Amino acid sequence: MLPIITEEMSSEIFSEAFQDVHSWRKNMVQYMKEENPEINSAILEVAKYDENIDLKAVALGAYLSYRLLELATDSEGMTIEA
């Protein structure tokens, strides 16, 4: 079962990310390479399937989702199992 993401959590992550989207996304690439390289690779694989997909937009959405789930998991005292 996935943790519940609150509106407050969303606001916190969105304000963090949208202060400087380019830098935040770049930092998340580095973070994900260390934290969960399999997910990072899966995000980047999307570009190989369709040249019309905006990789930066896909990556931003994926990284935002990951951070939201990570924050919600931490707040509920859960652990993410790979």
Please tell me which residue, 50 or 8, carries the higher pLDDT value: 8
**pLDDT (tens digit, 9 = 90+) per residue, 59-77?**
899 999 999 999 999 887 7
Q: Is residue 9 part of a domain?
A: no
Alpha-carbon gap, residue 5 to 56, rounded angstroms: 23
Q: Which pLDDT band, with edges at 50, 70 and 90, does 79 fall under?
A: low
Average pLDDT over residues 13-29: 94
Give the pLDDT confidence score for residue 82 in this predicted structure.
Answer: 47
User: Do the domain assignments include residue 26?
Assistant: yes
Residue 65, domain extent: 20-75
Within-domain flag for 6: no
Structural domain contains residue 70 = yes
How many domains in the chain?
1
**pTM metric for this prediction:** 0.82
